[in-house]
Chains A and B, each alone.
Chain A
Amino acid sequence: EAGVAQSPRYKIIEKRQSVAFWCNPISGHATLYWYQQILGQGPKLLIQFQNNGVVDDSQLPKDRFSAERLKGVDSTLKIQPAKLEDSAVYLCASSPDRDYGYTFGSGTRLTVV
């Protein structure tokens, strides 16, 4: 079974620029999550999708972050404009059901300078 694929692996941008991350979950997994992991901390949920609908985006900074999951498969997370404090690893995870452990991708390491 292929894992959760994420790209790019690394990204360096200047503050106020925009950036987008892509995630391809495990085939058949209905639930998809984006987490932000700041260095030295545990992952923090940004947004949760069930198929192509958003079920929890309460911790997403909506003034600069947006995410979509068209057709209930792949997902993109965008930041515009980026701030220095957005430097982190952005992890995508998927699960067949909300009540089971997630499978995480390797993440995208974002550095904002």
Chain B
Amino acid sequence: GESVGLHLPTLSVQEGDNSIINCAYSNSASDYFIWYKQESGKGPQFIIDIRSNMDKRQGQRVTVLLNKTVKHLSLQIAATQPGDSAVYFCAEMNYGGSQGNLIFGKGTKLSVKP
């Protein structure tokens, strides 16, 4: 099975509200996580990353929280805008065989209502 998954496949929010997208991971040895945004017809776009020696990291309007105890990752988007509508993926760095590569979850579709 996949080692990274999402609790909610779809999320609909009102413009201006805050959005929270959740992700569970199964490999406790993973130490690097990334959130990507993918708009229709485009490749995934890097949003924010976090390493396991941190539990919170903030960017512009986005915050990633990491809870290693329960192997949970979340992406918070403040004051959600229509341009935030997209599919969001969390990805976990897999160091199997010492060659790191990203394992993606299925994604959460965020829809922002004006």
Q: Is the pairing of A and B real? A: yes
Chain A residues near B25: list those with CB within 8 A: none
The reply to whether A102 and B104 form a contact with Cβ atoms under 8 Å apart is no
Please provide the chain B residues from 55 to 114 with a CB less than 8 Å away from any CB of chain A in the complex: 89, 91, 93, 97, 99-107
Chain B residues near A91: list those with CB within 8 A: 43-44
The reply to whether A56 and B43 form a contact with Cβ atoms under 8 Å apart is no
> Of A42, A56, A98, which is within 8 A of B104 by CB?
A42
Closest beta carbon of chain A to B47's beta carbon, Å: 9
> Of B41, B49, B89, B101, which is within 8 A of A45 by CB?
B101
Please provide the chain A residues from 56 to 113 with a CB less than 8 Å away from any CB of chain B in the complex: 56, 91, 93, 98-99, 101-107
B interface residue count range (under 10 / 10 to 19 / 20 to 34 / 35 or more): 20 to 34
Chain A residues near B44: list those with CB within 8 A: 43, 91, 104
> How many angstroms between the C-alpha atoms of A3 and B57 in the bound complex?
25
> Of B34, B49, B101, which is within 8 A of A56 by CB?
B101
The reply to whether B45 and A42 form a contact with Cβ atoms under 8 Å apart is no
Closest beta carbon of chain B to A39's beta carbon, Å: 11
> How many angstroms between the C-alpha atoms of A105 and B42 in the bound complex?
8
Chain B residues near A56: list those with CB within 8 A: 97, 99, 101
Closest to A54 in B: B99
Given known pairs A91-B44, A103-B46, A104-B43, the reply for A98 and B100 (CB within 8 Å) is yes
Chain A residues near B104: list those with CB within 8 A: 42-44
The reply to whether A101 and B42 form a contact with Cβ atoms under 8 Å apart is no
Chain B residues near A4: list those with CB within 8 A: 43
Closest to A93 in B: B43
22 residue pairs of the A-B complex, CB under 8 angstroms, read A33-B101, A40-B106, A41-B106, A42-B2, A42-B105, A42-B106, A42-B107, A43-B44, A43-B104, A50-B99, A55-B99, A91-B43, A93-B43, A98-B99, A98-B100, A98-B101, A99-B93, A101-B49, A102-B102, A104-B44, A106-B41, A107-B42
- Interface residue ranges, B against A (CB under 8 Å): 2, 4, 32, 34, 36, 41-46, 49, 89, 91, 93, 97, 99-107
- Give the 7 A-B residue pairs with the shortest CB-CB distance, closest first: A42-B104, A104-B43, A98-B100, A55-B99, A101-B46, A101-B34, A104-B44
